[in-house]
Amino acid sequence: MRGKFFTIAGFLFLLMGILMTVGCGGDDNKVTNPPSPQPTNLIRITGFAYSPTPLSVGVGDTVTWRNDDSVPHTVTSDSGTELQSPILNSGNTYQHIFTVAGSFSYHCTVHSTMPHATVNVQ
């Protein structure tokens, strides 16, 4: 019986080695994407508020809004049409490149009671 145990154990050890080699080899051309870095100018929508506000950026900078709430929100200019996001469901992002200097106030059209926020572009 002892001989059969070592034979079975040896077979299982050999099989594990083969499976590990097959699983790890032969896939040298596989492209993997590292996790995306945190955007530099990130505004989180969480707790029914935009954070940080105000955010100061330079002309030509990109700002990213990310909805971390469990309900949908928007990023909509208080006046003008500079910021007009679609409805952002939880986990969705919206990006905008600011091409002119100024102060840009915005709000959520879905939740009128949310505090307004501002991006200052210098």
Q: Which domains does the chain have, with CATH numbers?
A: 42-121 (2.60.40.420)
Question: What CA–CA distance (Å, rounded) separates 78 from 16?
Answer: 62
pTM given for the model: 0.70
- Tell me which H or E stretch contains 22: helix 2-24
Can the peptide bond before residue 54 be classed as cis, meaning omega within 30 degrees of 0?
yes
The pLDDT tens digits along the chain (122 residues) read: 555 545 665 555 554 554 444 444 444 444 444 555 667 899 999 999 999 999 999 999 999 999 999 999 999 999 999 999 999 999 999 999 999 999 999 999 999 999 999 999 99
